[in-house]
Amino acid sequence: MTLTTLPGSATAAEPGRAVAAPGTKRANRFGWWGLVFLLPALLSFGYFSWWPILRGLALSLQQTNLIDPAQWVGLENFRHVLKDPLLATAVLNTLKFGALGVAIGFPLPIVLALAMSELRRLGGLFRVLVYLPVVIPPVVSVLLWKFFYDPDHGLFNAALAHLGLGPLSWLQTTSGALPSLVLLIVWEGAGGTVLLYLAALSAVPTELYEAAEVDGASIRRRVWHVTLPQLRGLMLVLLLLQIIGTLQIFTEPFVMTDGGPENSTVTVLYLIYRNAFVSGDFGSAAALSVLLALALAVLSVVYLRVTRRWSKA
């Protein structure tokens, strides 16, 4: 049987000659147009995100007040920062914030999400109430809690007075100021995390719970062996983000305590602010920022390596 080639029809490819797949030119054309439309976003991201990072690296090697000409000093800013006697206090306070914030703020959203997922009525109302602190601007919520912590007319001491307790000096003592700020941080950040856990819980297959009930598993065992393993990946990501967030705390000690009393709430980020906008030493502030960024990067890498096997189990 002889095959004839009609005029204008496709012919067999010649040996050694590549034939472009149908639609390849159109795909390439649309790929270039995609890059063209993406270019403004890439330029904006590079200018507002990566350029400040590169500028901060340059400032860390200079001595400048951003007005007079900068003077190149190399690693002198890093030596100056490491010799600061307040650095050890700031690092210790930051680690305390991180430890307390994770100890309280990590399990609490999980418990709230598990409890709210079992609600048959008023579930929407509780979701709104839980997410409300996220909607309130951070400075407004900090000022609100500062009024709650007032030793004379605050809401918390008024509530304790009805129970025959108090009054307590929430922010006026070195032992109470830091835990009081941690409670505020947990209140501010729990709402968004609860909604993420609720969304993840809705995706857990009901067949797993039905099989566990057939096997006679109690509620505690169903939560431990079915629910938490299904949330494992999300839990690991949120834990890392929470650790990084609590180690960068600034607004709460800045507005509520100004680092006091007796520097008991001074954090690394607050120390950066002092170097830059109180002392006018932007080079030392940039150097300390670089050190903090490196520490968080190392922490993230170690965390991901340690939890890699458990997250895939």
Asked if the structure places residue 166 within a domain, the reply is no
CA distance 286 to 78: 9
- For residue 70, give the DSSP letter: P
The pLDDT value recorded for residue 120 is 74
- CATH (domain of 138): 1.10.3720.10
Asked if the structure places residue 122 within a domain, the reply is yes
Residues 6+ apart with CB under 8 A from 278: none
Asked if the structure places residue 84 within a domain, the reply is yes
Owner of token pair 């009081």: 180
> By residue range, what is the domain housing residue 85?
76-142+176-312
Asked if the structure places residue 233 within a domain, the reply is yes
Q: Per-residue pLDDT tens for 263-297?
A: 999 999 999 999 999 988 899 999 999 999 999 99
**Above 50 in pLDDT, residue 144?**
yes
Instruction: Say how many domains are in the chain.
Output: 1
Q: Work out the angle between the directed axes of helices 155-162 and 138-148 (0-180°, nearest 10).
A: 40
Average pLDDT, integer, range 11-32: 55
The pLDDT value recorded for residue 66 is 81
The pLDDT value recorded for residue 2 is 46
Asked if the structure places residue 43 within a domain, the reply is no
| CA dist list (Å): 176 to 22, 155, 156, 260 | 71, 17, 14, 11
Asked if the structure places residue 63 within a domain, the reply is no
Number of C-beta neighbours around residue 51 at 10 A: 11
Asked if the structure places residue 301 within a domain, the reply is yes
- For residue 122, give the DSSP letter: S
